[in-house]
Structure 1
Amino acid sequence: MALFDKLDLARMLGPLPDRAAPVAHGARHFVNGQPLDPPFPVGTEDVFFGMGCFWGAERKFWQAGDGVHVTAVGYAGGTTRNATYEDVCTGRTGHAEVVRVVYFPAALSFDSLLKLFWESHDPTQGMRQGNDVGTQYRSAIYTTTPAQRAAAEASRAAYQRVLTDAGYGAITTQIAPAPPFFYAEAYHQQYLAKNPGGYCGLGGTGVACPAGPLGA
């Protein structure tokens, strides 16, 4: 089904109802053994990145360095509480597939996470990422502090300039305060560590994101 047909059908049918209980998502990170659920250590912050299929996206961030405390995948930005993967794939929940990144800002700067985000996918594709098509594959940054949001918006402007120079169109990335986050099913968590030969559709533009404070 074409993307616009699917979007039109989703709009016609309306949002899916909430589910009463969250899906079982497991207790600990498969790679580093840290608890997936809060409370998280004092001194950490979290942020949520949507950049296409969350399998490859999560791997990018758990490999980002010792400053990352834990990562987890789930759904955010939609209307259906406790949505399942099957629910999200209908396009009727409004959710994006996202990675929760819990990190220590004293050890790993937010600007470095933003650089990894921008360079690891194509943020100009709208409701898709490569061959993955649908609302859940949109590009998004859901922030948890005003400073994060300001940095994200500044880096978007900086990256737009270099993308434009390289012949790309407008960035479609949504930047907004973090909405409710719903963990994805246990088999999605750290999927590419459990299945090293698994599918990863992640691919960047090859255009470097400007480095420095706030992407300047």
Structure 2
Amino acid sequence: RKKMLSRTHQHHLLSNPKHPSRRMKLHQLSIILSSLLSTTVVAYSSVSNRRAFLNTVCGTAAAIAGNTAAMAADESAAASSKLTDVYFGVGCFWHIQHEFVVAEQRLLGRNGKELTSRTGYAGGTKTENGKVCYHNFSFQADYGKLGHGEVVGMTIPEASIGDFAKEYFDLFTSKGERVDPMDKGGEYRSLLGLPGGTSHPMYPQVEAAAAAKGMTLALGKGNDPDTLGKKLVYVMDSNKFPFYQAEVYHQFHNDFQSPAYGKAYNDLVKDAFDDGRVKDTGCPDRFPSA
């Protein structure tokens, strides 16, 4: 396995009438406005009538403001809790998975069966019968030949994308390089994937994280070349360039660039395989023993 040796290798929500909590609040606003419009103001000449009318207007305005603030709070909470699939790649995915597992634990308080980080492939324009595989002696769906790069995919709250982008850019050296420059080729290029790519609402936070590290972002077109020496990261639309999980034996693997991560970390693959977070991809593979 030559490569393995070398690697040492919310506008929308406000307009959605089907949203139950929103429908209720809009109904309440409708009642308030109807009440105001049905108020009969016959005599504007008397001070008492003018005063009563103004009191009604002020009360209605306060009610509208309160309901608007409540809807805005709902919007913010929805954005914070909305789970989004993303992926990041920079060199060998073994090391990157470990770092994002640590990030899930530290930033989201996740542990054990809550962890979602998985090694995989992305950024290519082709598959072989829906499969993307590591280099293998059967020559099946070789990810390099299909134009994919090594990445780590995860499911995180949309509001946390900026924080995870910072974690990602911290993985580069002070010179903007990956930590395993001996691994060369498009398989090891730097890339990240968001639904919609650069049009994702959290993309500005990704841009800010990149700028803080002096990195350049470029729109990925698929089958992109290596980024070594360029301080460059390709941004992929994950709707067009989806994540393909790597083989089971690549999950929670030790990396040759650092000391072994320990048995507890390596054994995470057993639970992940048992509960379906990690699946048989149909590629040549090895599976955890019971």
Give the TM-score normalised by structure 1: 0.58
- Give the AA of the match of 1:114: A
Q: Structure 2 residue aligned with 1:72, among 108, 114, 118?
A: 118
Q: Is the 8 A contact 1:129 1:137 kept in 2?
A: no
Equivalent pair of 2:116/2:155 in contact (CA under 8 Å): yes
Amino acid at match of 2:171: S
Return the offset for 1:44.
Answer: 1.7
Equivalence map 1:10-159=2 (5 Å): 43-66=82-105, 67=108, 69-81=115-127, 82-86=131-135, 91-105=144-158, 109-122=160-173, 124-125=176-177, 129-144=180-195, 146-159=200-213
1:199 aligned to 2:256?
yes
Output the amino acid matched with 1:58.
Answer: Q
Amino acid at match of 1:57: I
Moved more, 180-189 or 65-74: 65-74
- Maintained 8 Å contact 1:139/1:174: yes
Measured after TM superposition, the shift of residue 80 of structure 1 is 2.7
Question: Could you give the per-residue CA deviations for residues 161-195 of structure 1, whole angstroms, max 9, x where no partner exists?
Answer: 7xxxxxxx752111121112211111001113xxx
- Any conservation in 1 of the 2:180–2:257 contact (CA below 8 Å)? no
What is the deviation of 1:49?
Answer: 0.1
Q: Which has the larger radius of gyration?
A: 2
Provide the identity percentage.
30
| Distance (Å, rounded) in 1 between the aligned partners of 2:141 and 2:185 | 10
Total equivalences in the alignment: 145
Structure 1 residues not aligned, in runs of 5+: 1-41, 162-168, 193-197, 202-216
* Greater share of residues in helix: 2
CA gap of 1:158–1:88, structure 2 versus 1, over 3 A, is farther
What is the Cα deviation at residue 135 of structure 1? 0.7
Separation in 2 of the partners of 1:115 and 1:139?
14
Q: How far apart, in 1, do the equivalents of 2:141 and 2:256 lie? A: 19
1:172 is aligned to: 232
Q: Cα RMSD between the aligned structures?
A: 2.8
Name which structure has the greater RCO, CA cutoff 8 Å, separation 6+.
1
Matched, 1:182 2:236: no
* Alpha carbons 1:79, 1:94 under 8 Å: kept: yes
Native 8 Å contact 1:125 1:172 kept in 2: no
| 1:78–1:96 contact (8 Å) kept in structure 2 | yes
Q: Point out the more displaced range, 171-180 or 145-154.
A: 145-154
TM-score by length of 2: 0.44
- Deviation of residue 139 (structure 1)? 0.6
Deviation at 1:103, TM superposition (A): 1.6
Distance in 2, matches of 1:53 and 1:113, equals 18
The structure with more strand, counted as a fraction of residues: 1
In structure 1, what is the Cα distance between the partners aligned to 2:168 and 2:141? 22
Q: CA deviation at 1:89?
A: 6.4
Helix, strand or coil at the partner of 1:48: strand
- Structure 1 position 61, deviation (Å): 0.4
Structure 1 pair 170–130 and aligned structure 2 pair: CA distance change class (3 A): closer
